[in-house]
């Protein structure tokens, strides 16, 4: 039995039992390379739910997008490891009532990067994608190719620290029970750090120079839910709204700091980015720094204190002038 | 180059560092005339956005100073600020902004001399780096 069929059965059961009024998951969209979010209220419709490597959206984002729709309702939500942490982080921040949600954990094999998938198909139009686990089959008009999952995996899933959804109500599929080594997760951060400062600056400008300020990264981020984002605020107007390089970089730096200790590194931002900015690198850097200094990670314990709002008196403060 | 003096924004907390600066002044201590002071209620009030915005607007450096750990007028504002700076500083370094441009210190109301020394040190560091280039908005 695949996780997809388990998910359909579970959603059908939860809805017909009346345990939940709504199940958020994924269904096939118009493109075979990306499943789209699904909102199922009728047990009959549960058959449309799917789960595979194309389910890159983090469904936790919906809880803070339309609060009226979810408050006071029992909602079932299908969650990968990172999605579960995102929901738990929202519970910690009093944005979601834990008892109102049924977390349907799905054992995640890592999601696919649609750009890498497109590359693997050499730009030919993919009409069908079949996620076979270790391999992914791509089929189009006049071609069929099988690629290794590893080669088309999303960056966020390389070195994923917590692939198995934790603190869930139900767990579908076989959990991996082993996380990637911290080394793999930090590899790109360390590589970037090895560049000279001027090189890091040039690379940062080049990368963020691609940004078109569409705010897709912010809009898909479960941790970004300020009622008025600082970039939209006009009084005072903190930063310019155009693609002027320093404005763009400040937007990203501040967004990173706003989600510091709260970002679960799901990579939804990077996958949503229309210009392919490597958004994950900075988020990883911050997460690594937070873990190293404060020995804590986002979304691990809904009962804990928010990391950036707590402190220990004897913390390392070598960055403060002696 | 010799004519150039760094312009540094000093964000000082009302209860300790601002009073420390005041003490340096009334004690007629000499320190470089490179800082422009903004007084904030607490170092916990300092949003990293203030710091980046200052660099973008053309300040060559930013100094943030608050009460020593344990001495915060609001009990824990400086501890929370410290966590924020602990993440901000490596992040700026990571993207290639010179770490010496953004500095933090704890200065109490009684440490006028320390205030003068800190300003001299920050000014010296920033002078060595030269005028800020990287995050400055040019329109």
Domain limits, chain B = 8-129
Rounded to two decimals, the ipTM of the complex is 0.96
* Cβ–Cβ gap B79/A311 under 8 Å: yes
Q: Is A12 helix (H, G, I), strand (E, B) or coil?
A: helix
Chain A residues with CB inside 8 Å of B12's CB? none
Confirm or reject CATH 3.40.1130 for domain B8-129, answering yes or no: no
* Cβ–Cβ gap A201/B96 under 8 Å: yes
Cα distance between residue A40 and residue A76, in whole Å:
10
Tell me if A222 sits within 8 A of A90, measured CB to CB.
yes
Peptide bond into A236 cis (omega under 30): yes
Is residue B130 less than 8 Å (CB to CB) from chain A? no
* Cβ–Cβ gap B96/A204 under 8 Å: yes
| Strand duo A135-140 + A128-131: pairing | antiparallel
Residue A272: half-sphere exposure toward Cβ, Cα within 13 Å: 18
Chain A residues with CB inside 8 Å of B83's CB? 294, 307-308, 310-311, 315
Q: Virtual CA dihedral for A190, A160, A100, A38, nearest 10 degrees? A: 110
Distance from CA of B26 to the nearest CA of A (A): 24
Tell me if A242 sits within 8 A of A62, measured CB to CB.
no
This prediction's pTM = 0.96
Sign of the CA dihedral running A59, A60, A66, A71: positive
Is residue A197 less than 8 Å (CB to CB) from chain B? yes
The pLDDT profile of chain A, 322 residues, written as one tens digit per residue, is 899 999 999 999 999 999 999 999 999 999 999 999 999 999 999 999 999 999 999 999 999 998 888 888 999 999 999 999 999 999 999 999 999 999 999 999 999 999 999 999 998 999 999 999 999 999 999 999 999 999 999 999 998 989 999 999 999 999 887 777 778 889 999 999 999 999 999 999 999 999 999 999 999 999 999 999 999 999 999 999 999 999 999 999 999 999 999 999 999 999 999 999 999 999 999 999 999 999 999 999 999 999 999 999 999 999 999 8
């Amino acid at each position: 039995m695949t996780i997809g069929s388990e998910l359909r059965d579970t959603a059908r059961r939860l809805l017909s039992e009346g345990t939940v009024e709504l199940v958020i998951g994924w269904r096939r969209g118009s493109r075979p390379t990306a499943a789209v979010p699904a909102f199922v209220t009728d047990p009959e419709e549960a058959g449309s739910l799917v789960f595979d490597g194309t389910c890159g959206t983090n469904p936790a984002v919906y809880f803070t997008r339309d609060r009226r729709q979810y408050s006071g309702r029992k909602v079932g939500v299908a969650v990968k490891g990172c999605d579960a942490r995102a929901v738990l982080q929202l519970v910690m921040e009093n944005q979601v009532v834990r008892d109102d949600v049924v977390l349907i954990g799905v054992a995640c094999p890592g999601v696919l990067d649609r750009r890498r998938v497109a590359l693997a198909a050499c730009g030919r139009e993919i009409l069908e994608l079949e996620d076979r686990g270790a391999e992914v089959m791509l089929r189009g008009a006049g071609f069929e190719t099988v690629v290794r999952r590893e080669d088309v995996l999303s960056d966020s899933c390389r070195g994923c620290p917590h692939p198995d959804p934790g603190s869930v109500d139900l767990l579908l599929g076989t959990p991996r029970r082993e996380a990637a080594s911290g080394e793999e997760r930090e590899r790109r951060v360390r590589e970037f750090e090895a560049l000279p400062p001027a090189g890091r600056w040039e690379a940062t400008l080049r990368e963020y120079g691609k940004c078109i300020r569409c705010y897709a990264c912010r809009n898909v981020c479960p941790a970004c839910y300020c009622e008025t984002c600082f970039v939209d605020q006009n009084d005072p107007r903190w930063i310019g709204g155009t693609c002027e390089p320093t404005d763009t970089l400040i937007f990203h730096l501040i967004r990173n700091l706003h989600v510091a200790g709260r970002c679960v590194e799901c990579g939804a931002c990077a996958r949503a980015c229309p210009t392919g900015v490597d958004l994950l690198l900075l988020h990883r850097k911050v997460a690594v720094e937070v873990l190293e200094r404060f020995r804590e990670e986002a979304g691990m314990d809904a009962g804990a204190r928010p990391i950036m709002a707590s402190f220990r008196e004897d913390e390392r403060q070598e960055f403060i002038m002696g | 180059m010799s004519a150039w003096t760094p312009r540094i924004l000093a964000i000082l907390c009302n209860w300790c560092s601002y009073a420390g600066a005041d003490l340096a002044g009334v004690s007629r201590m000499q320190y470089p005339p490179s800082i422009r002071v903004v007084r904030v209620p607490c170092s916990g009030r300092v949003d990293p956005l203030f710091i980046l915005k200052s660099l973008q607007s053309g300040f060559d450096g930013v100094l943030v100073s608050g009460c020593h750990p344990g001495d915060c007028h609001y009990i824990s504002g400086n501890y929370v600020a410290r966590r924020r700076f602990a993440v901000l500083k490596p992040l700026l370094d990571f993207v290639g902004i010179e770490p010496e441009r953004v500095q933090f210190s704890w200065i109490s109301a009684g440490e006028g001399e320390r205030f003068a020394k800190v300003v001299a040190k920050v000014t010296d560091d920033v002078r060595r780096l030269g005028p800020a280039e990287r995050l400055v908005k040019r329109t």
